[in-house]
Chains A and B, each alone.
Chain A
Amino acid sequence: DVKVTQSSRYLVKRTGEKVFLECVQDMDHENMFWYRQDPGLGLRLIYFSYDVKMKEKGDIPEGYSVSREKKERFSLILESASTNQTSMYLCASSPVGVVAGGSSYEQYFGPGTRLTVT
């Protein structure tokens, strides 16, 4: 079974802190994704990576950065946390790189990290 793990289920941070969210997958997937999930808005893509050291901005990259130094690990960084970044953060992986015309491969999700910034 594909397993995607996230470093924390719940996290509480103060405004201005630097926050690291870690994601690890164990199936040698090329693609990894970071989403933010908010009620009524569905999932919004923050960043994705289709290979080591490669990253692409998603729909809402402002205030976030990412790092992928190893294939299995994808980190999301909040450089200076703000209260409007309070949310559920989901990591996902899938087994194919950039594909024009779309992909039928499913994305495998981690359990999520509920981040509260006070």
Chain B
Amino acid sequence: AQTVTQSQPEMSVQEAETVTLSCTYDTSENNYYLFWYKQPPSRQMILVIRQEAYKQQNATENRFSVNFQKAAKSFSLKISDSQLGDTAMYFCAFDSNYQLIWGAGTKLIIKP
């Protein structure tokens, strides 16, 4: 079975610090996609960043970047210069057959 594991239920950092959220997954597929989604308190889930497994280069979106290690099946999210608005639940997700498999989420709190 395909699974996604987020080992950090909750993290907190000071504003402006860099934080890394971990995600590992298990699959026998070779072609797939990985995503990080963000769910701010009482707001809708939105996509943060995506990575295609066949691409070697790590995806980046402004302050957000990933460290994709295909052999290790690891897909961590780095948030640089963290801001108060980054406070949210962060979910890692994996897509190989038209549906997403989700991790349990990491609650990230940015402290002023």
A50 contacts the other chain (CB 8 A): yes
Bound CA span A17–B6, Å: 36
A: contact size bracket: 20 to 34
Which B residues touch A104, using CB under 8 A?
33, 50, 52, 95
- Our pick among A31, A101, A110, A112 for the contact of B31 (Cβ within 8 Å) is A101
- Our pick among A33, A90, A102, A109 for the contact of B96 (Cβ within 8 Å) is A102
Bound CA span A48–B100, Å: 11
A95 contacts the other chain (CB 8 A): no
Which residues A6-36 have CB closer than 8 A to chain B?
A: 31, 33
- Our pick among B32, B43, B99 for the contact of A58 (Cβ within 8 Å) is B99
Interface string of A78-118 (1 = CB under 8 A from B): 00000000000010100001111111101101111000000
B47 contacts the other chain (CB 8 A): yes
Bound CA span A50–B91, Å: 23
Given the interface pairs A41-B104, A42-B104, A42-B105, the reply to whether A102 lies near B97 with Cβ below 8 Å is yes
- Our pick among A99, A103, A106, A110 for the contact of B44 (Cβ within 8 Å) is A110
Bound CA span A42–B45, Å: 12
Sampled A-B contacts (29; CB under 8 Å): A31-B98, A41-B104, A42-B4, A42-B6, A42-B102, A42-B103, A42-B104, A43-B100, A43-B102, A45-B99, A48-B98, A50-B98, A98-B98, A101-B31, A101-B32, A101-B96, A102-B32, A102-B97, A103-B33, A103-B95, A104-B33, A104-B52, A106-B35, A106-B50, A107-B100, A109-B44, A109-B45, A111-B44, A112-B44
Interfacial residues, chain B to chain A (CB-CB below 8 A): 4, 6, 9, 29, 31-33, 35, 43-47, 50, 52, 91, 93, 95-100, 102-105
Interfacial residues, chain A to chain B (CB-CB below 8 A): 4, 31, 33, 40-45, 48, 50, 58, 90, 92, 97-104, 106-107, 109-112
